[in-house]
């Protein structure tokens, strides 16, 4: 049964019935020791932890006031409830669900860790960013840090004794990371002295743990400008002695924290490195290879942010659904002329049903899209041939900007529809949907804005390997389209999805020509094109889910399952007929020479 925060049945459907991880992943390669029962046990535990501990930790229970991280006397404190939660999180082994047992992890496929994350994030994104960043930083240390202290640092991060961050952004270097000014000077002992200011650093300082490991992008003095001259350093908040004990503070000082629209419990810090000339860091990877190291993690981090959009959409939809069943207001439209008609629950009103099915069908589509990207990462790990590996690597490259941007943009749509479903109460702190809406807003901004993702898709990914990766992705959709075409009940939808994908392929070819003659057309179209391709791919995922549901319904399932599978088919029809169907018309518009936003003089935007 779904609660208002998580829907375990839906996750099980995707994992076991749609992506059939039992056949494709479990029992193979690094997952040789894992089976479906273990997966279901982890999902159930994660659902309970979300319900019982994570979700109640966010708002003040009496007034639903936001709980905030606080900056006082140069120090940051997290909301009180986070201390116990952090302990439970670390003790439960949740920091390393899909990491190798060699580093204390549970070794599950990445798709399982992502499903678990979806639940946790739905309960409290602000808190989850502490372990999320810790995991990301630990993965960098694991893969790139060659130092006698590597294993100790890893152990402390994976067991929750220390946390981690990502320090890229500076006041003058946001989207353009290459403009950074933080510098590093090599010391005779091989360490580097770091000097500079980083801003917007999530979980940058706090009192959850005794130490924080900061991966910091900086330029070694004398290295070239731009991204080519960037290196990356491990900079601890507190210095670590050779025997692993903690030493002096490392001259990393918190300048302040941001007052934000959402994710209040997560401290977004300005960090000053080396104000007193005493900040020491160790090189990670090779000199001037900082961007290469960061890019290694980028796909995973961007998929993680996409997962945030999915998580908050899920919680918003489930809350709105529950409210719509309870809230009584107005009469059923079929009884409008009956003066004695009783007021009905708002779920009976057509416009509320439209919003609910829109939320459901978007949420289920982006859930499938985001999980599939992790599935591709797992398929890459179990692949046996180079061709197979290249195929799955290509799928990851293509899908990453789509997952990051579309899932988070749709998070805005779904959380806003949830507020609308509640009416005036949705706008008030008494109910949680306004918080979900505010929290999701950051997901389209950090980890590379969605505009930058669109440029990545159009400018880099579509043409990768001369378009081979794009064609492979399109080819992958064919089997489910063909299956749906063979089913009278889904034939029209299958044709719609096929037309939409063809329109995206056609537009991509036109963009590639226009890039040489009139590049503004594709550059202006990039974001809308990312949405068109996402809506076509989500149409494919809906067909896949509807095909699966059709097969299951034929096997005469229980009444509950019958309702579940029927919901899948209706959701697929609604999404494909209302959203995917519009893609060909939108693509026609996008390739046209409409560049008024370039032509308009700056002073004509407002006079
Ligand atoms: C709450 C929060 C948490 C954060 N956490 C972290 C963190 O942990 N670590 C970290 O390093 N950073 C973090 N950031 C920073 C975040 O990644 C940046 O805000 C983001 O990359 C955008 O940079 P900017 O704010 O300087 O905006 P700008 O780069 O100034 O962008 C402003 C607008 O211009 C657009 N734009 C910029 N350049 C181009 C271009 N070439 N083409 C088209 N459009 C362009 C952008 O898409 C955006 O819409 C966080 C930010 C916030 C608000």
Per the prediction, the chain carries an average pLDDT of 96
Q: Report which protein residue has its CA nearest ligand 1's atom 50.
A: 200
Q: For residue 67, give the DSSP letter.
A: P
Q: Which residue owns the Cα nearest ligand 1 atom 25?
A: 174
CA of 165, closest atom in ligand 1: 8
Residue 419 lies in a domain: no
* DSSP per position, 210-260: SEEEEEEEEEETTPPSSGGGEEEEEEESEEE-TTS-EEEE-SEEEEEE---
Does a structural domain hold residue 41?
A: no
- pLDDT recorded at residue 64: 55
Cα 451 to averaged position of ligand 1 atoms, centre (Å): 10
In a domain? residue 502: yes
CA of 128 to the centre of ligand 1 (A): 21
15-53 pLDDT, tens digit per residue, is 999 999 999 999 999 999 999 999 999 999 999 999 999
Residue-wise pLDDT for 51-108, tens only, equals: 999 999 876 654 455 578 999 999 999 999 999 999 999 999 999 999 999 999 999 9
pLDDT in tens, 281-340: 999 999 999 999 988 888 889 999 999 999 999 999 999 999 999 999 999 999 989 999
Q: Three-state secondary structure along 147-180?
A: CCCHHHHHHHHHCCCEEECCECCECCECCCHHHC
Residues with a CB atom less than 6 Å from ligand 1 = 165-169, 174-175, 200-202, 260, 268, 442, 445-446, 449, 451-452
Domain assignment present for residue 547? The answer is: yes
> Which residues, 6 or more positions from 113, have their beta carbon under 8 angstroms from its beta carbon?
97, 98, 374
Boundary residue ending a domain (268, 292, 316): 292
Q: Residue 302 C-alpha to ligand 1 middle, in angstroms?
A: 14
- Against a cut of 0.95, is the pTM above it? yes
**Domain boundary, last residue among 267, 292, 317:** 292
Residues 472-508: tens digit of each pLDDT = 999 999 999 999 999 999 999 999 999 999 999 999 9
- Taking the centre of ligand 1 as the mean of its atom positions, its distance from the CA of residue 536, in whole angstroms, is 28
- The tens digit of pLDDT for each residue in 404-444 reads 999 999 999 999 999 999 999 999 988 999 999 999 999 99
The residue nearest atom 4 of ligand 1, judged by CA position, is 200
Mutate to test the pocket of ligand 1, among 69, 130, 169 (most ligand atoms within 8 A of CB): 169
Substitution candidate for ligand 1 out of 200, 448, 454 with most atoms within 8 A of CB: 200
Final residue before a domain boundary, out of 292, 309, 326 = 292
What's the confidence (pLDDT) of residue 74?
Answer: 94
Residue 60: strand, helix, or coil = coil
Domain count, the chain: 2
Res 297: pLDDT: 80
447 is catalytic: yes
Instruction: Report phi then psi at 394, rounded to 5.
Output: -65, -40
Question: In angstroms, what is the span from residue 256 Cα to ligand 1's centroid?
Answer: 18
Contact 256, 313 (CB under 8 A): no
Give the per-residue pLDDT at 67.
78
Q: Is residue 177 part of a domain?
A: yes
> Is the residue at 330 inside a domain?
no
| Segment 234-255, tens digit of pLDDT | 999 999 999 999 999 999 999 9
Q: What is the mean pLDDT of residues 579-595?
A: 97
The per-residue pLDDT for 602 is 97
Q: What is the pLDDT of residues 108-134, one digit of tens each?
A: 999 999 999 999 999 999 999 999 999
Q: Is residue 247 part of a domain?
A: yes
pLDDT at 66: 58
Catalytic residue among 300, 364, 397, 447: 447
CATH number at residue 252: 2.40.110.20
Q: Which domain holds residue 252?
A: 158-292
Ligand 1: which residue has its CA nearest to atom 52?
200
User: What is the percent of the chain with per-residue pLDDT over 70, rounded to a whole number?
Assistant: 99
User: What is the structure's pLDDT at 62?
Assistant: 47
Residue 77 placed within a domain: no
pLDDT (tens digit per residue) in 155-186? 999 999 999 999 999 999 999 999 999 999 99
């Amino acid at each position: 049964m779904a609660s208002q925060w998580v829907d375990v049945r839906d996750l099980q459907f995707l994992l076991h019935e749609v992506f059939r991880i039992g056949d494709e992943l479990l029992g193979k390669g690094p997952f040789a020791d894992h089976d479906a029962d273990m997966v279901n046990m982890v999902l159930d535990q994660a659902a309970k932890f979300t319900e019982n501990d994570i979700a109640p930790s966010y708002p003040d229970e009496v007034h639903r006031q936001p709980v905030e991280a606080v900056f006082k006397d140069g120090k940051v404190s997290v909301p009180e409830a986070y201390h116990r939660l952090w302990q439970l999180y670390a003790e439960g082994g949740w920091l390393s669900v899909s990491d190798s047992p060699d580093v204390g992890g549970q070794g599950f496929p990445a798709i399982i860790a992502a499903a678990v994350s979806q639940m946790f994030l739905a309960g409290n994104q602000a808190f989850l960013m502490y372990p999320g960043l810790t995991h990301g930083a630990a993965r960098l240390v694991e893969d790139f840090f060659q130092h006698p202290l590597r294993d100790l640092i890893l152990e402390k991060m994976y067991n929750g004794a220390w946390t981690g961050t990502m320090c890229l952004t500076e006041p003058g270097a946001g989207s353009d990371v290459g403009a950074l000014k933080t510098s590093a000077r090599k010391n005779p002992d091989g360490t580097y002295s770091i000097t500079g200011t980083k801003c917007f650093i999530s979980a940058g300082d706090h009192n959850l743990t005794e130490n924080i490991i900061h991966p910091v992008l900086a330029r070694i003095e004398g290295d070239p400008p731009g991204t080519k001259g960037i290196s990356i350093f491990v900079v601890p908040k507190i210095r670590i002695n050779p025997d692993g004990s903690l030493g002096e503070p490392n001259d990393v000082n918190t300048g302040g924290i941001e007052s934000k629209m959402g994710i209040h419990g997560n401290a977004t810090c300005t960090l000053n490195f080396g104000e007193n000339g005493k900040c020491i860091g160790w090189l990670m990877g090779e000199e001037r290879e900082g961007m290469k190291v960061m890019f290694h993690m980028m796909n995973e981090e961007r998929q993680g942010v996409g997962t945030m959009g999915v998580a908050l959409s899920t919680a918003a939809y489930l809350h709105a659904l529950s409210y719509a069943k309870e809230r009584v207001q107005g009469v059923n439209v079929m009884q409008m002329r009956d003066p004695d008609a009783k007021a009905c629950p708002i779920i009976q009103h057509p416009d509320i049903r439209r919003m609910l099915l829109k939320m459901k069908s978007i949420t289920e589509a982006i859930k499938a899209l985001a999980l599939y990207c992790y599935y591709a990462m797992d398929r890459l790990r179990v692949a046996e041939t180079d061709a197979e590996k290249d195929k799955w690597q290509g799928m990851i490259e293509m899908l990453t900007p789509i997952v990051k941007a579309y899932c988070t943009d749709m998070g805005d749509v779904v959380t806003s529809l949830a507020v609308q479903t509640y009416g005036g109460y949705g706008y008030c702190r008494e109910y949680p949907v306004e918080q979900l809406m505010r929290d999701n807003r950051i997901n389209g901004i950090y980890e590379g804005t969605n505009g930058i993702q669109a440029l990545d898709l159009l400018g880099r990914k579509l043409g990768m390997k001369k378009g081979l990766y794009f064609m492979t992705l399109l080819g992958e959709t064919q089997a489910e389209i063909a299956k749906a075409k063979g089913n009278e009940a889904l034939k029209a939808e299958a044709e719609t999805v096929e037309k939409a994908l063809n329109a995206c392929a056609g537009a991509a070819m036109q963009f590639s020509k226009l890039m040489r003659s009139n590049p503004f057309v594709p550059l202006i179209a990039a974001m809308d094109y990312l949405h068109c391709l996402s809506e076509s791919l989500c149409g494919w995922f809906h067909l896949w889910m509807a095909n699966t549901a059709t097969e299951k319904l034929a096997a005469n399932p229980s009444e509950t399952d019958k309702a579940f599978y029927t919901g899948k088919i209706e959701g697929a029809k609604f999404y494909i007929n209302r959203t995917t169907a519009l893609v060909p018309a939108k693509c026609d518009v996008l390739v046209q020479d409409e560049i008024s936003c370039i032509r308009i003089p700056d002073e004509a935007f407002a006079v």
